[in-house]
Chains A and B, each alone.
Chain A
Amino acid sequence: MTAYLANLATLVAIFGILAATLNFVVGFAGIFSVAHAVFFGLGAYAGAQVALQLFPDALLACLVAAIVAGGLSLCLALPALRVRGEYFVAASLGLQMMATTLFSEAKAFTGGIGGLVAIPRPTVAGVEVGVLPLALAALALILFLTARLQRGAFGRTLQSIRDAESAAEALGKNVAAAKTLAVAFACAGAGIGGALFALHLSFVNVESFTMDQSVLVMAMVIIGGTGTLWGPLIGAILLLSLPSGLAFLPFIPATEVGAVQQIVYGLAMTLLMIFRPAGLVGDLSKGRATA
C-alpha cells in the first residue's frame, strides 16, 4: 500500500509539473497548446538516453531534458506563434500528430513502438535516490517560479498579451519574444517532468506522449482553474486519484472501470463548465480579486 501511494504521489508530482507549466502558457499567455505531451515525451526520451548512454544522474538527466525540450520548443514555436488564437490550437494539434509518428519511427532515439527499457535507477552525486523527492522538489521549484512570475512584470506582460495582444504591442512590448520565452519556459518544465517520468518507470514508449495525454493535462488545468497557482496541481491530484478511487468501489466490475472513468470525466467537465467555468480554484481567487 505504501509503495502504491508513493507511486501515485510521484505521478501526481510529475503531472503537477506538466499541468503547472501548461497553465503558464494557457492561463497567463492565453496560448492554447494541445501539444504539451510532445515536450513531455522529448524530455522523457532525452532523460532516458542520458541514463542509458552516460550515467543515471537525475540532475543531469533533468538538465538535458529541459534543454532538449525547451530548445526544440523554440524551433517549433517560432513559426506556430505567428498564428493566433484558435489557429494556434490547430497548429499545435498538427505538431502533436506529427510528433507521435516521429516518436514511433525514430528508433535510434526513442526505441520505436517498443520504447526504451531497463533505464537504470536514478542517482544524485553517485547515491541512488527515489524519484518522489526529486519530483516534489521540481514541482515546488516550478510552483515557486510560477508564483514569482505571476506577481512580477513578466506575468503582467503575458496577461496583457492574453487580454489584448495589439494593445500590449502598442505599449512597446515585443509580443513574439515574450510568448516564445513563455513557451520555452513551459516546455523546458515539461521536459523535466518527462525525465523524471522515465526514471520513475524505468521504461518509456510513445503511448505516454500521445494526444490523449495532452488532453488529460489540459483537462487538469481547466478543471483546477486556468491562470491560478494551485489549480493545476489540484486538477492533477483529482484526475490521477479518480481511476484508483473508482477501482476501490466494490459495485463497479474491474473490467468496466475504464468506461465508468470516461463517463465520470465527461460528466465532471460538463458540470464544471456550467457551474464553475473558471475551474475549482478559479472562482475562489476571482472572488478575492473583486472583493
Chain B
Amino acid sequence: MSEILLKSENLARAFGGLQAVAGVSLSLPAGRVTALVGPNGAGKTTTFNLITGNLRADSGTAQIRGRPIMGLKPWQVARLGVARSFQDLRLFTHVTVRENVLAATETASWFWQPGGSRARRQREDRAAAALEATGLAALADARAIDLAYAERKFLSMARILAAEADIWLLDEPASGLDLASRLRFGELLRAATARGVAICLIEHNLDVVAELSDRIAFLDQGRVLAEGEPQAILRDPALAAIYFGDRPQEAA
C-alpha cells in the first residue's frame, strides 16, 4: 500500500438548510488516481473547496502527510503541495501562455523571488518543460484568452505541472476534450502518478473514469455512498440508478 498523502475525515459543510457535504472521508494514496463520481450537487467541488481552504468546514478534519490543514488559507495549503484546477479554468487571461505557467512557479509575494538568477533559470526550465508536456510550447507567446478550448484546458494542466505539487485536485479536467486530447491528458496523468503524485479527479464521463482511475469514490447528497475498484463501482446497479437520475424512493 502506497503512502497516503492527503486524508480527510468526516468533512461537513452546510449552506443554510442545505447539507452540501455531510461527512466525507477520503484518502489519496501516492501514485494513484482517485475519481470522485456522482450526480450534480453531490458535493464533489465543495469537498475540494473544504480541503483547499476556499471554504471553512463546519466539522471534520483533513491532513497532508499527517499535518492538519483545517483553518489554513488556500495559499498555505497550496504551499504544502496541493495544486487544483477549476471547472471554469480561471486562467490568467491577459498574459501569455508562458507567463501563466511561470506564475505557477513563482510563489513568493515579495518584490523579487528568492534564489537569484540560478533559481530563475530553473523556474523558466520548469515552465518550458510543462509547456512541452502539454503540447503548448508553440503557443508560449500567445495570450491565454486567444487559445482554443482544448488548449485552455491544457494550459490549466500546465500550471499544475509547473507548480510541482504532489497532490492534484482536478475538477472536470477532461470535459469537452476530443479523443486525441483525452489520450494526451491520460498520458499526463500516468506520467504524474509514475512520479508518485496523488490525483483526485472529478469527472462525469464514465469512460474517462474507467480509463484513468485506480479507485472511485461515489458521492451522493454529500456522502460517500461507495468506494472501491472502478469496475465494481461502475457495475453496481443501485449506484447507476442514482447516477442516471433514476433514484429509488426513500424508505418510509
Which chain B residues lie closer than 8 Å to A153 at the CB level? 102, 106, 108, 112-113
Residue of A nearest to B163 (CB): A171
Taking a contact as CB atoms under 8 Å apart, the answer to whether A172 and B91 are in contact is no
- B150-172: CB near A (< 8 Å → 1, else 0) gives 00000000010001000000000
Taking a contact as CB atoms under 8 Å apart, the answer to whether A173 and B143 are in contact is no
Which listed residue, B78, B93, B106, touches A163 by the CB 8 Å rule? B93
Whether, in the assembled complex, A290 has its beta carbon less than 8 Å from a beta carbon of chain B, the answer is yes
Taking a contact as CB atoms under 8 Å apart, the answer to whether B111 and A149 are in contact is yes
Taking a contact as CB atoms under 8 Å apart, the answer to whether B106 and A156 are in contact is yes
Q: How many residues of A contact B (CB 8 A)?
A: 27
Complex Cα gap A160–B107 (Å)? 12
Which listed residue, B52, B78, B112, B146, touches A152 by the CB 8 Å rule? B112
Complex Cα gap A174–B103 (Å)? 13
Taking a contact as CB atoms under 8 Å apart, the answer to whether B94 and A173 are in contact is no
Whether, in the assembled complex, A157 has its beta carbon less than 8 Å from a beta carbon of chain B, the answer is yes
Complex Cα gap A173–B110 (Å)? 10
Which listed residue, B86, B109, B142, touches A173 by the CB 8 Å rule? B109
Taking a contact as CB atoms under 8 Å apart, the answer to whether B110 and A172 are in contact is no
Which chain B residues lie closer than 8 Å to A171 at the CB level? 78, 83, 103-104, 107, 159, 163
Whether, in the assembled complex, A289 has its beta carbon less than 8 Å from a beta carbon of chain B, the answer is yes
Taking a contact as CB atoms under 8 Å apart, the answer to whether B111 and A156 are in contact is no
Q: How many residues of B contact A (CB 8 A)?
A: 35
Which chain B residues lie closer than 8 Å to A215 at the CB level? none
Which chain B residues lie closer than 8 Å to A156 at the CB level? 95, 99, 102-103, 106
Whether, in the assembled complex, B84 has its beta carbon less than 8 Å from a beta carbon of chain A, the answer is yes
Also in contact, A174 and B142, with CB within 8 A (given A159-B92, A160-B103, A163-B95): no
Complex Cα gap A227–B146 (Å)? 18
Taking a contact as CB atoms under 8 Å apart, the answer to whether A164 and B90 are in contact is yes
Which chain B residues lie closer than 8 Å to A159 at the CB level? 92, 94-95, 99, 103
Q: A41-49, A175-183, A202-210: which one contacts chain B?
A: A175-183
- A159-198: CB near B (< 8 Å → 1, else 0) gives 1101110111111111101100100000000000000000
Whether, in the assembled complex, A55 has its beta carbon less than 8 Å from a beta carbon of chain B, the answer is no
Which chain A residues lie closer than 8 Å to B75 at the CB level? 169-170, 172-175
Whether, in the assembled complex, B74 has its beta carbon less than 8 Å from a beta carbon of chain A, the answer is yes
CB distance from A189 to the nearest CB of B (A): 14
Residue of A nearest to B156 (CB): A167
Interface residues of B in 199-242 (CB under 8 A from A): none
Residue of B nearest to A30 (CB): B94
Also in contact, A169 and B78, with CB within 8 A (given A159-B94, A159-B95, A289-B96): yes
Residue of B nearest to A149 (CB): B111
Whether, in the assembled complex, A154 has its beta carbon less than 8 Å from a beta carbon of chain B, the answer is yes
Taking a contact as CB atoms under 8 Å apart, the answer to whether A166 and B112 are in contact is no
Among B73, B96, B109, B146, the most chain A Cβ lie within 10 Å of the Cβ of B109
Complex Cα gap A170–B93 (Å)? 16
CB distance from B76 to the nearest CB of A (A): 8
Which chain B residues lie closer than 8 Å to A163 at the CB level? 91-95
Residue of A nearest to B95 (CB): A159
Which chain A residues lie closer than 8 Å to B163 at the CB level? 171-172
Which listed residue, B83, B96, B103, B143, touches A168 by the CB 8 Å rule? B103
Which chain B residues lie closer than 8 Å to A178 at the CB level? 109
Which listed residue, A152, A166, A227, touches B86 by the CB 8 Å rule? A166
Complex Cα gap A227–B93 (Å)? 14
Whether, in the assembled complex, B193 has its beta carbon less than 8 Å from a beta carbon of chain A, the answer is no
Taking a contact as CB atoms under 8 Å apart, the answer to whether A170 and B84 are in contact is yes
Taking a contact as CB atoms under 8 Å apart, the answer to whether A170 and B110 are in contact is no
Whether, in the assembled complex, B79 has its beta carbon less than 8 Å from a beta carbon of chain A, the answer is yes
Also in contact, A157 and B79, with CB within 8 A (given A163-B93, A167-B91, A170-B84): no
Complex Cα gap A174–B75 (Å)? 6
Taking a contact as CB atoms under 8 Å apart, the answer to whether B142 and A290 are in contact is yes
Whether, in the assembled complex, B181 has its beta carbon less than 8 Å from a beta carbon of chain A, the answer is no
Complex Cα gap A177–B96 (Å)? 24
CB distance from B19 to the nearest CB of A (A): 24
Residue of B nearest to A156 (CB): B103
Taking a contact as CB atoms under 8 Å apart, the answer to whether B106 and A157 are in contact is yes
Among A152, A170, A175, A178, the most chain B Cβ lie within 10 Å of the Cβ of A170
Complex Cα gap A172–B103 (Å)? 10
Report B's interface with A, CB cutoff 8 A: 52, 54, 73-75, 78-79, 83-84, 86, 90-96, 99-100, 102-104, 106-113, 142-143, 146, 159, 163
Extra contacts, 4 of them, besides A154-B110, A171-B107 (Cβ < 8 A), are A157-B106, A163-B91, A170-B78, A289-B143
> Would you list 21 pairs from A and B whose C-beta atoms are within 8 A, ordered by A residue?
A153-B102, A153-B108, A153-B113, A157-B103, A159-B92, A159-B95, A163-B92, A163-B95, A166-B90, A169-B75, A170-B54, A170-B75, A171-B78, A171-B104, A172-B107, A173-B75, A173-B103, A174-B73, A175-B75, A181-B111, A227-B94
List the 4 closest pairs (A to B, CB-CB), nearest first: A167-B90, A172-B78, A164-B90, A172-B107
